[in-house]
Amino acid sequence: MSETGLKARAAAIRDEQRAGFVSPDIPLLSNLSVYDNISLVPRYLTTEKDESIRAEIGKLLDLLKISDSINKKTFQLDSETLFKVKLLRALMLKESVTVIDRPFIMLNTAADIKPVYAILETLDISDRRVIFLDFEWNKSKY
């Protein structure tokens, strides 16, 4: 898909239903820590208790083996951790579609999509619909 096509498709998904976006165009907030970035969505949008949010995020960070980054700011993170944090933030929108937009821009060292699949399998989100948006020329990487 062309860049214009990708943006149009992303906008269509956004209009259609609430989607959690993992995209190079949707950054983390640079003045917040990893925990604050992930917890912002449930703390703002839901009435879930803080303790329960903290426990859930702690569990997810443990699963992805990035719990040592919980208090780090975004500039202290490598590209893989940044991707994982963006994914966790998107997953905080419950009962929604998760859109992974141009993953190879965010994971610039990945040769194919296997590392992303591995992350998704670790998180065990089989009940969640995940949509990948990418350029035509990256088709062979999937």
State the residues that interact with another protein by CB under 8 A: 14, 18, 20-21, 25-31, 40-41, 43-45, 50, 89, 93
Query: Shortest gap between Cβ of 55 and another protein (angstroms)?
Result: 17
Quickly tell me which residue has 């925990």 as its tokens: 35
Task: Give whichever of 46 and 108 is closer to another protein, judged by the CB atom.
Answer: 46
Task: Give whichever of 48 and 115 is closer to another protein, judged by the CB atom.
Answer: 48
| β-bridge mates for residue 99, sequence order | 21, 131
Query: Shortest gap between Cβ of 141 and another protein (angstroms)?
Result: 25
Query: Shortest gap between Cβ of 123 and another protein (angstroms)?
Result: 18
Task: Give whichever of 93 and 133 is closer to another protein, judged by the CB atom.
Answer: 93
CA–CA gap between residue 54 and residue 33 (Å, rounded): 13
Query: Shortest gap between Cβ of 120 and another protein (angstroms)?
Result: 20
CA–CA gap between residue 90 and residue 18 (Å, rounded): 10
CA–CA gap between residue 140 and residue 130 (Å, rounded): 19
Are the CB atoms for 130 and 120 separated by under 8 Å?
A: yes
Task: Give whichever of 32 and 115 is closer to another protein, judged by the CB atom.
Answer: 32
CA–CA gap between residue 112 and residue 103 (Å, rounded): 10
